[in-house]
Amino acid sequence: MMRIFVVGATGRVASELVKDLVAKGHQVTAVARHPENVSLKDSPQVTAVKLDLHASKEELVELIGQQDAIYFTAGSRGKDLLQTDAFGAVKTMQVAELNGIKRYIMLSSLHALEPEFWHENGLAQIMDYNIAKFFADHYLVHNTDLDYTILQPTALTEEPGTGKITVGATKVSKNPIPDVALTLAEILEHDNTRKKVIMMSSGDTPIAQALANV
């Protein structure tokens, strides 16, 4: 059992992630602006907490406390890219280091670290989001000593999960949301994913096997 801190826990992916982490036996602190909407908030394994990423770093130090891992899954859907998607993420990384938390898992976007791809069809429409994720991902890789994993899925869909993915995806395709969530949850069980950026799409390889081969 691990103590897991999920930032942005009411999002589409994070709602499924919380369920997957609970199913794996973890204790989850699920934080969001509207904690009343957290999945499984009445479970003894889930603590729902209000979080505003506009808060100061000092406030976040106390709120995050001692954890075994942090997931950053928050997204403003274009409404607050600088303070939520970019600097909100950076503050949680800084707090992780201040609080001695080494494991940090970031939900990002396909090619977020590669601006040369942003004009392609399927990515041009989310240019501003990818710019925000670029700065957050870049800070995580180059300005922290965290044991990070950055998961970069392609377009999210509401389809049922298949339990199978492809890693190393380079083209815009699709990812059922349940598969992205389960991949995030499984990353914790694969130490070989530390210090890695993983691009993913739907595929034919079971998630655990795909991650074992990263």
Respond yes or no: is residue 129 known to be catalytic: yes
Is residue 208 within 8 Å of residue 157, measured between CB atoms? no
Q: What is the DSSP letter of 21?
A: H
Q: Are strands 164-167 and 205-206 parallel, antiparallel or unpaired?
A: antiparallel
Q: Are strands 69-72 and 3-7 parallel, antiparallel or unpaired?
A: parallel
CA distance 16 to 38: 10
> Which of 71, 104, 129, 148 is an active site residue?
129
The beta strands (E) that lie in the chain are given as 3-7, 27-32, 46-50, 69-72, 103-107, 147-153, 156-157, 164-167, 175-176, 196-202, 205-206
Catalytic residues: 129
